[in-house]
Amino acid sequence: MERLTILGSTGSIGTQTLDIVRRNPERFHITSLVAHSRWQELAQQAREFEVESVVIGDKSHYRELQEALKDTRIEVMAGSEAIEEVARSYRSDTVVNALVGYAGLHPTYLAIESGKRIALANKETLVVGGDIIMGAAKRKGVEILPIDSEHSAIMQCLEGENRRSIRNLIITCSGGALRNISREELAGVTPEMALKHPQWSMGAKITIDSATLVNKGFEVIEARWLFDIEPERIKVVIHPQSIVHSMVEFTDGSVKAQLGNADMHTPISYALLYPERSKEAMESFSILDYPTLTFAEVDRVKYPALDIAYESLSRGGTAPCTMNGANEVAVAAFLNHKCSYLDIVGAIRYALDNASFEARPTLTTYDEANDEARELAERYLQRR
């Protein structure tokens, strides 16, 4: 039995991860579950999977959760220190990190340092600290298996290939919820409009990141670290059908792609069961349902966030961390109707232009850069 800790079990990726565990009861045992605010769901999951411990990130729900589980032997903990404790606990073999945002960085690092296999959905971990994280994974001989569908696709295309044969990685992009909206209309975009993703049903933050293409920029950074490849060789193409999940072009001109339904259960199960594959198809895929697959260039004027991500990647150091921190603040403000859609990129730009820069950050430097970026973004949003 593989012992799993699932960070972010109440979220979109978290609940789909639980589906995979449900379908493979002989294979996995969940030792710990972690959520932030949805304590009722967490309590119910904890009972269903008979876990050993649960952590609620938001300490204000500790009593309620404890009360809800008082007739069980499940240990109840709260706060970020407790999340870090279960991330490195000897009781699990694999940590699935499906937290959202910067909160994922330290738990990923601690899990790697404790020698655990990582199934990684929390891309912000690699956006912020890719260098340190991949360095630690190499030193510890730890596998990091991507859950992000594009990176899962690339990993699948690279199976059995020589790294030296890679010419380019080609990441596909649906174009997000605003793909049929003109540049001029962007100023009036509401959260409700941006939350209507055409293909994927995901958490609110990543759905907004998909609308701005910040998500695609983050995926470029994620790919740079996961596959150890120069940013110039990571391309992005628009592919509205979301059937080709990404591609690899090789030096002989051959291109491999991974196709399938837009269903996160597939990349989650690939990460969890690797190197095996799930025996049951989630839902059968028929190429005949998609007689026309189309591809197009990204409109880089409409979506400046993509170039900003390449820029922060080439600046390196704390720059991607600054981009991420400012984005988190601005997306939360946008979702709360406190700023406009265009302010998201405005806040990122302002933070990158005004933040201090550290070329060789440590985890502590990242904490400071993240705090600074958040303050700068707040200042930008107040001033506007």
> Radius of gyration of the chain from Cα atoms?
20
- Closest separation between CB of residue 200 and ligand NDP, Å? 5
Tell me whether residue 19 or residue 358 sits nearer to ligand NDP (CB atom).
19
- Which H or E element spans position 53? strand 53-56
Position closest to Mg ion via CB: 148
CB 140 within 8 A of CB 113: yes
Q: Is the dihedral of CA 278, 279, 281, 286 positive or negative?
A: positive
Write out the residues near Mg ion by the rule CB under 5 A: 148-150
Q: Report the C-alpha gap between 129 and 151 in whole angstroms.
A: 17
Binding site partner of 313, from ligand NDP, Mg ion, none, Cβ cut-off 5-8 A by kind: none
Tell me whether residue 62 or residue 250 sits nearer to ligand NDP (CB atom).
62
The C-alpha angle with vertex 80 and arms to 74 and 84, in degrees rounded to 5, equals: 75
Q: Report the C-alpha gap between 66 and 47 in whole angstroms.
A: 13
- Residue 26, SS3 per DSSP: coil
Tell me whether residue 10 or residue 31 sits nearer to ligand NDP (CB atom).
10
Tell me whether residue 98 or residue 376 sits nearer to ligand NDP (CB atom).
98
- Closest separation between CB of residue 92 and ligand NDP, Å? 17
Owner of token pair 């069980």 = 72
- Closest separation between CB of residue 175 and ligand NDP, Å? 16
Write out the residues near ligand NDP by the rule CB under 6 A: 8-14, 35-38, 57, 83, 98-100, 103, 121-124, 148, 200, 202-203, 205-206, 264
- Closest separation between CB of residue 361 and ligand NDP, Å? 20
Binding site partner of 322, from Mg ion, ligand NDP, none, Cβ cut-off 5-8 A by kind: none
Q: Nearest to residue 213, comparing CAs of 146, 143, 298?
A: 298
Binding site partner of 12, from Mg ion, ligand NDP, none, Cβ cut-off 5-8 A by kind: ligand NDP
Tell me whether residue 14 or residue 130 sits nearer to ligand NDP (CB atom).
14
- Closest separation between CB of residue 150 and Mg ion, Å? 5
Name 254's Cβ contacts closer than 8 Å, sequence gap at least 6: none
